[in-house]
Amino acid sequence: MIKLSFLATCFLACFLVAGSSAEIYRGIGPLSTLGGVKKLFPGAKFNKMNPAWAQEDDAMYSVSGAGIQGTIIIKFHDPRPFFKKMMEETTDNNSKEIYKDFVEDSEENSLSVSWVRWIPDAPFPVDG
């Protein structure tokens, strides 16, 4: 159990450091979850995107709708593939149960913001 606690602490520390590099835009900040972002924009349309370069632990959504000028693109990190791999590799049943809880968590709770981009409806000059 101590081994699992140590592993979880190390993973959380790495996850927090990696996630803290995200930008902040309209209340969307580092480590915001998909569910939290949906609460910020309750009337918005969330469209899941599948870019060709995406890895197994990437998720991307475009956000648009009333009150949003342009489109917000958000790349999320999904830790569930990592936990699935850990669950498959461990032989300890207690650890398997803990990993299983993470693997089966919803997208709304699992996905956390990696970066945010805003795409305006029309180009605008940034230099006089």
For the chain, 128 residues long, give each residue's pLDDT as a single digit of tens.
555 555 555 555 555 544 455 468 888 988 899 999 999 999 999 999 999 999 999 999 999 998 788 999 999 999 999 999 999 998 888 888 999 999 999 999 999 999 999 999 888 888 87
pTM check: above 0.85: no
| Integer Cα distance of 104 and 83 in angstroms | 10
Nearest CA-CA partner of 46 in 30, 62, 32: 62
DSSP H or E run through 55: none
Residue type, position 101, single letter? D
Residue 74: φ, ψ to 5°: -125, 125
